[in-house]
């Protein structure tokens, strides 16, 4: 039996969490759930959006599945999602983007995996607010030491990219490609302009690629990559990207396969892994039993693979694919007409998936 933490989140989180848990249990995966909270709901009761027990549970079990959590605007707590990734050193964000028959999309037969570096880059949170003393100090220093000038009324965000973090994420991408029998890794960057951050990323990518002669390697400049993904996505397999480009391109790739409702993800480190949907907490749908649980359920498929429960993972993925392909017991967003009265609720879609699993 595996011990797994389930963070139920807020907004639509608890509803899709419940649907996902029931579907995973139906596979006979034999999981001992530790169900814990995070987000705005628990914040109202306990005064913190991330109770100590929640973090302690993830640390203890080393594996968690997490429903979405709202990022409060202007409260000082940047983002629980970012905080979890940093505290647990979940350095790799893995986002498979796969076409499922029955999901409306401009494309079919997409099978891409986005591997995003999670700890550095402009997302590292090293930011200086306009007008503050430390910001002025940095601006003065830069203006004294370089020919480039930053005006005093600027805010500043720092973009660190290290050899260490680049090596481990590129290795992660190659190891993943090897394990899953994939053929090619593409490293994405803007090294022609940002020579000391993205340039370093590209150099390290090339060095690491030499350790994996069995897997093809290439690189692409990020703007060109966006165009290529729209024009010929079939040319690509595993993409590895620094944090910010990874954030943007994972949404682009989710768009190729039908949107956020069907895009799963995992944040993985050496000591812990947290699986979660790509979409957020969609607060306006809270408590309506309306939204699509597929992305979190497919994150559950990734989690089962991570636990080595391949048979249960395949059972669950096949059941989800079958329900979507039939197009009957699916949520409103998967119907050709979003106002289709035959759309089912979150929990009824989970029931249909469970019926497929249990036969
Ligand atoms: P969102 O993904 O929550 O919602 C945007 C829209 O997408 C929704 O209004 C809805 O129309 C649609 N949508 C999202 N999930 C859906 C689903 N499962 N089924 C059907 N339709 C769905 O994005 P947002 O409104 O920008 O963010 C809301 C909050 O979630 C913010 O506070 C944001 O910071 C947070 N967020 C959290 C995570 C996370 O926990 N990992 C990820 C992204 C955003």
Q: For residue range 62-86, what is the model confidence (pLDDT) as tens digits?
A: 999 999 999 877 665 667 887 898 8
* 153-206 confidence digits (pLDDT tens): 999 999 999 999 999 999 999 999 998 889 999 999 999 999 999 999 999 999
Taking CA atoms only, the protein residue closest to ligand 1 atom 10 is 282
Taking CA atoms only, the protein residue closest to ligand 1 atom 6 is 282
* 30-41 confidence digits (pLDDT tens): 999 999 999 988
Is the pLDDT at 259 greater than 90? The verdict is: no
Annotated catalytic residue: which of 190, 290, 315, 356? 190
Annotated catalytic residue: which of 123, 176, 245, 332? 123
Work out the percent of the chain whose per-residue pLDDT is above 70: 99
Expressed in angstroms and rounded, the spacing between residue 15 Cα and the centre of ligand 1 is 14
pLDDT of amino acid 76: 56
Expressed in angstroms and rounded, the spacing between residue 263 Cα and the centre of ligand 1 is 12
d(CA 254, CA 235): 17
190 flagged as catalytic: yes
The CA-based angle 102-105-107, given to 5 degrees, is 105
Is the pLDDT at 51 greater than 80? The verdict is: yes
123 flagged as catalytic: yes
User: The CATH number of 1-94+263-359 is which of 3.40.50.80, 3.40.718.10, 3.40.50.20, 3.40.190.10?
Assistant: 3.40.718.10
* 282-298 confidence digits (pLDDT tens): 999 999 999 999 999 99
The ligand 1 site (C-beta within 6 Å) comprises 68-71, 81, 260-261, 276, 279-282, 284, 291-292, 295, 333
Taking CA atoms only, the protein residue closest to ligand 1 atom 43 is 280
- Name the class of domain 111-120+161-256: alpha beta
d(CA 262, CA 291): 11
Is the pLDDT at 278 greater than 90? The verdict is: no
Instruction: Select from 255, 282, 346, 349 the residue to mutate for testing ligand 1; criterion: most ligand atoms less than 8 Å from CB.
Output: 282
Expressed in angstroms and rounded, the spacing between residue 174 Cα and the centre of ligand 1 is 30
* 109-133 confidence digits (pLDDT tens): 899 999 999 999 998 889 999 999 9
- The whole-chain average pLDDT of the chain stands at 94
d(CA 258, CA 263): 8
d(CA 319, CA 350): 10
Q: Where are the domains of the chain?
A: 1-94+263-359, 111-120+161-256, 126-159
Taking CA atoms only, the protein residue closest to ligand 1 atom 34 is 71
Q: Can you give the length of the chain in residues?
A: 359
User: What b-and-e string marks burial along 118-139, b requiring 16 or more CB atoms within 10 Å of the CB?
Assistant: bbbbbbbeeebeeeeeebeebb
* 193-247 confidence digits (pLDDT tens): 999 999 999 999 999 999 999 999 999 999 999 999 999 999 999 999 999 999 9
Which residues are CB-neighbours of 345 under 8 A, at least 6 positions away? 288, 289, 290, 331
Taking CA atoms only, the protein residue closest to ligand 1 atom 23 is 280
pLDDT of amino acid 213: 95
The torsion region of residue 25 among left (phi > 0), alpha (psi -120 to 50) and beta comes to alpha
The CA-based angle 120-121-124, given to 5 degrees, is 55
């Amino acid at each position: 039996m595996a011990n797994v933490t389930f963070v139920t989140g807020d907004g639509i989180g608890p509803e899709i969490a419940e649907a996902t848990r029931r579907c995973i249990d139906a596979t006979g995966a034999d999981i001992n759930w530790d169900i814990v909270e995070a987000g705005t709901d628990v914040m109202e009761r306990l005064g913190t959006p991330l109770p100590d027990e929640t973090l302690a549970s993830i640390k203890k079990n080393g594996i968690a599945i997490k429903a979405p959590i709202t990022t409060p605007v202007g409260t000082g707590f940047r983002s629980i999602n970012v905080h979890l990734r940093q505290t647990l050193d979940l350095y790799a964000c893995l986002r498979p983007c796969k076409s499922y028959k029955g999901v409306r999309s401009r494309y079919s037969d997409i099978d891409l995996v986005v591997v995003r570096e999670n700890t550095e880059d402009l997302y590292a949170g090293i930011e200086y607010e306009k007008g503050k003393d430390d910001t002025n100090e940095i601006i003065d220093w830069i203006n004294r030491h370089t020919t480039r000038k930053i005006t005093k009324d600027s805010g500043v965000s720092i973009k660190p990219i290290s050899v260490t973090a680049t090596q481990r994420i590129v290795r992660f991408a190659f190891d993943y490609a090897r394990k899953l029998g994939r053929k090619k890794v593409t490293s994405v960057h803007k090294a022609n302009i940002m020579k000391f951050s993205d340039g370093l990323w590209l150099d390290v990518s090339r060095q690491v690629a030499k350790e994996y002669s069995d897997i093809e390697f290439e690189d692409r400049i990020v703007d060109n990559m966006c165009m290529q993904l729209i024009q010929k996505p079939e040319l690509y397999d595993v993409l590895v990207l620094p944090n910010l480009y990874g954030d943007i391109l994972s949404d682009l790739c989710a768009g190729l396969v039908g949107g956020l409702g069907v895009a799963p993800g995992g944040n993985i480190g050496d000591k812990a892994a947290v699986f979660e949907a790509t979409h957020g907490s969609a607060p306006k749908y809270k408590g309506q039993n309306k939204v699509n649980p597929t992305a979190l359920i497919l994150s559950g498929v990734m989690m089962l693979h991570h636990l080595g429960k391949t048979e249960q993972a395949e059972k669950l993925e096949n059941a989800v694919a079958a329900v979507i392909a039939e197009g009957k017991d699916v949520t409103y967003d998967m119907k050709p007409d979003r106002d289709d009265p035959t759309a089912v609720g979150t929990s009824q879609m989970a029931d249909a998936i469970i019926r497929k699993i249990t036969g």
